Amino acid sequence: MTSQEIRKKYLEFFKERGHTVIPRALLVPQNDPTTLFTGSGMQPLIPYLLGQEHPEGKRLVDSQTCLRAQDIDEVGDNRHTTFFEMLGNWSLGDYFKREQLNWFWQFLIEEIKLDPSRIYVSCFIGNEDAGIPKDSESATVWSEIFAAAGLDHEQIDIGTNENGAKIGGGEHRISFYGDKNWWCRAGKASDMPDGEPGGPDSEVFYLFPEVKHNPEYGEKCHVNCDCGRYIELGNSVFMEYVKTDTGFSKLPKRNVDYGGGLERISAAAMDSPDVYKISLLWPIISKLEVLSGKNYDSYTNAMRVVADHLRGATFLAIDGVVPSNKEQGYVMRRLIRRAIRFAFDLGIEQNFLEEVTKVIVGLYQEDFPELSGKKDQVIAVLVREEKLFRHTLKKGLAEFEKMYPQSQEKKPMSVLDGAAIFKLHDTYGFPSELVIEEAYKRGVEVSPDWRPQFDSKMEEQRSRSRTATKGEFKGGLADHSEINTKYHTATHLMYKALRIVLGDHVIQRGSNITAERLRFDFSHTDKMTPEQIKSVEDIVNEQIGKDWPMSWREEDTREALASGVVGAFGDRYGERVKVYTVGDPDGEYFSREICGGPHVEHTGQLAEGGKKFKILKEESSSAGVRRIKAVLI
């Protein structure tokens, strides 16, 4: 069974059980400054998990493309990828644990035909300090399921991975863990900010008995061991808590938030612990074998990195990201450049991104139609970055020559240390692996301590980056504070004003709102003139002065778009959408826009304290995209 068939089966399985299929969200979150990428299927649904009604009802299902840049250094083993698809189903105040766990079991056993004897599960051990009990209910459901299948259903309290490595647990069908079985975006319950939802979860693992336990990961194996013997297939989160300033409270409605890796389920379906052999990745590997003249078994690590990174970069390009030195663009650039670096290991030193990208688009365009129409645009973005990086490598080599000339007469040879390697990497984009290789070619002595020195410099840079990110995103829209709500409303007014002043070609390409300012990216090729900027400011302030009421209602998507309602570039919508109107939707109004909120009740609130809308900066964001930063002062 191919990955494409499994995806269709999953959507149909839950559709038959009353779920509405919703489209994937973009890889770049809209109006969520707390994270760079959509890293899980639940991320776009946070408002609905907190209690807001979803226009498509209480039961939802989708296949969400995700990207987790934090896993970039893990890529190369048999199961980690930075880009992946997450199959998801949700109950928003409807069914709960018993239905969810039984349905997931039925899907795996009856639809995918997995071996039930190789399935193991984990549940939440409880948190006394937080007043959250042990999830015995889920364990009971699993015991009943296993008993009906004629399987043992022994339970064991493990707690932590460290405990698991000491006591084992692989012989037990149900294992209890602490933080491992608590789900929230912050990772741990103790790290959750106020207002963040979370809850206990139950994870399902598939045993690959041919994989022998590696003692490097601990003395004994257990389901959460990193040796690869057990691979997690899915995670059912029972989201019923919200963090408050006094601890945890129950959400108004209990929710189910399931997410399962399509790649890993596909690997289990073909009885292979190697996710790179599935139908969504193996054709990319096969193309690399042809281009390089080398085989996968001999160059496994390099081919896995190239296949994963280019798949992620392709989807980022599809969703409007371009390589740059900031935020999402920086991660995209790093993915592409790492792919090119590892392609060197395969002997591919000429342009190859176009050939591989065509294969990737071909794998997805039937199920994600937006790919086919953007194929040429995506290829152009990736090829341009490939050419730029090859030029960067030339500059890096030139700088290396200055620092460590081959001619002894120019400068005495010196030892290449971690600080010098970091400078070449950070300033000139010269990958550390290539720096080392060049040093050996030239006979330059490499410090035996270069790696910890280099890592120390990298950690200093990450710390600076994290600090900068916290400062930039402080008070982001996710907390729905009053000032953020005002800036979000001002963005609506400015969007319409830009279309009035510049033309209807203006489409939103991104938004980031903090307590200090709003930032808005839009499609436009030329720098705005001072007169145009002034006109936009005047229009926005005029509409604030009119004190328009703000309202929303659900509308048929096609009818809304046909009537002139606008949205964001690249967004895909279901059959019904939430439309916000500045004014009267059935009478006089200023703008109508697809949006999830939040907004003020009337535009005059933006002028409280005598404030006016002011554009601080208008600049280029990327090719064909301009960026505005504005405030209420």
Q: What is the CATH number of the domain that holds 585?
A: 3.30.980.10
Q: Tell me the CATH number at 19.
A: 3.30.930.10
Count Cβ atoms within 10 A of the Cβ of residue 229 and give its class: 0-12 exposed, 13-18 middle, 19 or more buried.
buried
- My answer on whether 488 and 462 are in the same domain is no
Burial class (CB in 10 A: 0-12, 13-18, 19+), 15: middle
Whether residue 456 sits in one domain with residue 521: no
Torsion over CA: 307, 311, 313, 314 (sign): positive
Same domain, residue pair 455 and 490 = no
**Same domain as 121, residue 155:** yes
Res. 308: pLDDT tops 80: yes
* Residue that is written with structure tokens 């960026």 in the block: 627
Look at the block and give the residue holding tokens 């889920």: 138
Mean pLDDT, the chain, whole residue set: 87
Q: What angle do CA 49, 53, 56 make, to 5 degrees?
A: 100
Percent of the chain, pLDDT > 70? 94
Helix (H, G, I), strand (E, B) or coil at 184: coil
How far is the C-alpha of 589 from the C-alpha of 489, rounded, in Å?
Answer: 14
3-state secondary structure of 630: strand
pLDDT given for residue 476 in this prediction: 34
Residue 170 in contact with residue 164, Cβ under 8 Å? no
Q: What does the pLDDT read at residue 473?
A: 33
Q: Do residues 454 and 366 share a domain?
A: no
Q: Please give the helix or strand (H or E) that residue 550 lies within, else none.
A: strand 550-556
Query: Could you tell me if 305 and 339 are in contact, meaning their C-beta atoms sit under 8 angstroms apart?
Result: yes
Q: Where does the pLDDT of residue 364 fall: very low under 50, low under 70, confident under 90, or very high at 90 and above? A: very high
Range in 53-57, 293-297, 300-304, 392-396 with the lowest mean pLDDT: 392-396
> Does residue 348 register a pLDDT over 80?
yes
* Alpha carbon distance 375, 186 (integer Å): 36
- Which of the listed residues 277, 296, 331 is the one where a domain comes to its end? 277
Report the alpha-carbon distance of residue 209 to residue 171 in Å, rounded.
12
- CB neighbour list of residue 462: distance below 8 Å, 6 or more residues apart: none
Same structural domain for residues 377 and 498?
A: no
Residue 10: which H helix or E strand, with range?
helix 3-15
Out of 334, 366, 393, pick the residue that ends a domain: 393
What ranges make up the beta strands (E) of 163-290?
Answer: 174-177, 182-183, 197-207, 230-244, 247-261
**Is the distance from CB of 582 to CB of 543 less than 8 angstroms?**
yes
pLDDT at 328 over 80: yes
| Cα 58 to Cα 92: distance, rounded to the nearest angstrom | 5
Distance in angstroms (rounded) separating the CA atoms of residues 60 and 39: 18
Let me know if residue 328 belongs to a domain: yes
If we measure between CA atoms, which residue out of 141, 30, 8 comes closest to residue 87? 8
**More confident: 464 or 73:** 73
Residues 207 and 120 sit within 8 Å (Cβ to Cβ): yes
Identity of residue 190: S
Same domain, 187 and 136: yes
Give me the mean pLDDT over the 348-369 stretch.
Answer: 89
CB 387 within 8 A of CB 351: yes
The answer to whether position 216 is within a domain reads: yes
- Measured distance CA(53)–CA(43) in Å, rounded: 16
Among 328, 360, 313, 367, which residue's Cα sits nearest to residue 75?
313
- Residue bearing tokens 């937080």: 130
**Which tokens sit at 64?**
């969400």
What H or E segment, with its residue span, contains residue 119?
Answer: strand 119-124
Using alpha carbons, select from 586, 563, 559, 591 the residue that is nearest to residue 575: 559
Is 231 among the domain residues?
Answer: yes
pLDDT (tens digit, 9 = 90+) per residue, 96-114?
A: 999 999 999 999 999 999 9
Q: Is the pLDDT confidence value at 489 over 60?
A: yes
- Mean pLDDT along residues 376-386: 88
More confident: 325 or 264: 264
**Residue 572 pLDDT exceeds 70:** no
Give a yes or no: residue 283 inside a domain: no
Residue 418 lies in a domain: yes
> What's residue 32's pLDDT?
65
Mean per-residue pLDDT for 479-503? 89
Could you tell me if 510 and 468 lie in one domain?
no
Considering the domain architecture, whether residues 227 and 127 belong to the same structural domain is answered as yes
Average pLDDT value for residue range 380-408? 79
- Whole-angstrom distance, CA of residue 219 vs CA of residue 75: 24
pLDDT digits (tens, 9 = 90+) for 186-229: 778 888 888 888 899 999 999 999 999 999 899 999 999 988 89
Q: Is residue 31 part of a domain?
A: yes
Lowest-pLDDT choice from 152-156, 444-448, 617-621, 622-626: 622-626
Taking residues 378-382, report their average pLDDT.
89
The confidence band for 471, taking pLDDT boundaries of 50, 70 and 90, is very low
Q: Say which DSSP state 201 is in.
A: E
The answer to whether position 282 is within a domain reads no
In a domain, 622, yes or no: yes
Provide the number of structural domains found in the chain. 4
Contact 332, 364 (CB under 8 A): no
- Give the Å distances, CA to CA, from 407 to 283, 402, 442: 46, 10, 10
Q: Are residues 500 and 564 in the same domain?
A: yes
Element (DSSP H or E) covering residue 592: strand 589-594
Q: Which helix (H) or strand (E) holds 437?
A: helix 432-442
Q: Do 622 and 519 reside in the same domain of the chain?
A: yes
Q: What is the 3-state secondary structure (H, E, C) of 258-314?
A: EEEEHHHHHHHHCCCCCHHHCCCCHHHHHHHHHHHCCCCCCCHHHHHHHHHHHHHHH
Compute the distance between CA of residue 54 and CA of residue 408 in angstroms, rounded to an integer.
71
Domain endpoint, select from 372, 393, 414 = 393
Q: Which residues have a Cβ under 8 Å from the Cβ of 586 and sit 6 or more positions away?
A: none
* 149 and 222 within one domain: yes
Sorted by sequence, the CB contacts under 8 Å of residue 112 that are 6+ apart come out as 1, 6, 9, 265, 268, 269
Query: Which residues span the domain enclosing 424?
Result: 404-473
Looking at residues 347-364, what average pLDDT do you find?
Answer: 89
